[in-house]
Every structure is written in C-alpha cells, then in structure tokens.
C-alpha cells in the first residue's frame, strides 16, 4: 500500500480553513461548519502526496503525474526538443494527486519557464499557449525525454523544486501544480508508448513508454 503524505505547499491553504471550521463549530454556525468541513476534506485530498515506487527497469518511463491520457500524437522533430517526436498528454483533474515526480533517473539538461495563458487544460493549444515549465532529462545511456508542467484554467501556481544540472531519481518528487492542470511528455521516435487514450495513469507507478535498449 502506498504511504500517504501531505504536500507542504498545502498547509497555507489548509490551516486557515481548519481554524474557520473550528470557529464555526464553537459558535454553532453549523451550515458554515459543514461547508468548511467539506473544504477541509477537499484540500486534504488535493494536497495528498503518496509515496509510490514503480518500475526500476531503466527502459521504463513512468508517469510524472496522476490523471487521464487525453492525447497521443506525433510531433515535428525539434518542436519541443531535438530528437523528440512523440507526445503523450495527461489531464489532471482537481481530484487527482498534483505532485509531480521524475519519469526517469538522470540529469536535468534543460529547464525553462514560459509565462502564458490559463486556457482549460483539456484544450490542445494549452500545450503551447499556457503558462508552463519545460524540463528535459537525459539518462546515463544518453536517452532523452522531456515533460511540461502546464497550468490549467484553475491553476494558481506551478512549483518546480529542481534546477538545470540536477541529478534526479525515477519517482523523485520534482514539484506540483496547484488546482487543475496538465502534463505533456515527449519521447524519441523509437520509444514504445504503453498507454492508450482515456487511460487512467498514476504518478510514479504507470509506465507511459519504453525506451530502446
């Protein structure tokens, strides 16, 4: 069973609501207490940070996010990064885990933040027009993959805890996106995609693609 933890980014939201909930109970404002209690449950669920350990095979690329696969397509070489021509997109609803984890073990060879719009994350053009982080990673064999943290309609902030040049392990926490969002992954042409449209995926557990040996 995964070990359940709470993302530290959530305390700034949770503590005031808990205080208001307790106050509403003390003064017997029960309708307000019920509403605030439901909000507490929502925040606890949203900011959960379960510890998961998926595949250790070096050819496996695990999902950096919870959610639903909403796009699988080929893209032009160099559109995101040279040598990457396959894209898989995962939509993260407000009920999914929003902590992001490294898809492979390797080094972050490129990181770039792009300010942008906050279109609905289900929309295809959100991949290019929304506020986002691009992270490119390379493993010890020279295989390269990339992923984007993309803000959605309700997203208030993208958090990325690492920097260019950092070495990270598969499944290691790298950040999160607060309140509704999307993650795009990019692979070389010889990668084998292991998921299908509308599949539900789990961060650090689901294998999204296999890289060549």
- Active-site annotation holder among 63, 89, 126, 181: 181
Active site residue 93: no
SS (H, E, C) 147-200: EEEEECCCCCEEEECCCCCCEECCCCEEEEEECCEEEEEEECCCCEECCCCCCE
Strand order in the sheet with 99-101: 99-101, 173-178, 157-160
Q: For residue 101, what are the β-bridge partners?
A: 173
Dihedrals phi, psi of 50, to nearest 5 degrees: -65, 140
Q: For residue 203, what are the β-bridge partners?
A: none
Which residues participate in catalysis according to the annotation? Answer: 181
């Amino acid at each position: 069973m995964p070990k359940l933890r709470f993302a530290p980014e959530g305390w700034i939201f949770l503590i005031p609501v808990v205080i208001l909930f307790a106050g509403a109970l003390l003064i017997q404002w029960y309708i307000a207490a019920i509403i605030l209690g439901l909000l507490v449950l929502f925040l606890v669920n949203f900011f959960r940070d379960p510890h998961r350990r998926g595949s250790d095979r070096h050819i496996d690329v695990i999902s950096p996010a919870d959610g639903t696969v909403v796009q699988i397509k080929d893209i032009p070489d160099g559109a995101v990064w040279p040598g990457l021509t396959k894209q898989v997109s995962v939509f993260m609803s407000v009920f999914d885990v929003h902590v992001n984890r490294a898809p492979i073990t390797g080094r972050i060879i490129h990181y770039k933040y792009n300010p942008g719009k906050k279109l609905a994350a289900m929309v295809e053009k959100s991949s290019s027009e929304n506020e986002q982080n691009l992270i490119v990673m390379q493993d010890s064999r020279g295989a390269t993959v990339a992923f984007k943290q993309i803000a959605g309609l309700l997203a208030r902030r993208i958090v990325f805890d690492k920097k260019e040049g950092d070495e990270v392990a598969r499944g290691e926490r790298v950040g999160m996106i607060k309140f509704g969002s999307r993650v795009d992954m990019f692979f070389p042409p010889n990668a084998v995609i292991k998921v299908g449209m509308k599949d539900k995926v789990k961060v650090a557990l689901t294998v999204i693609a296999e890289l060549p040996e």
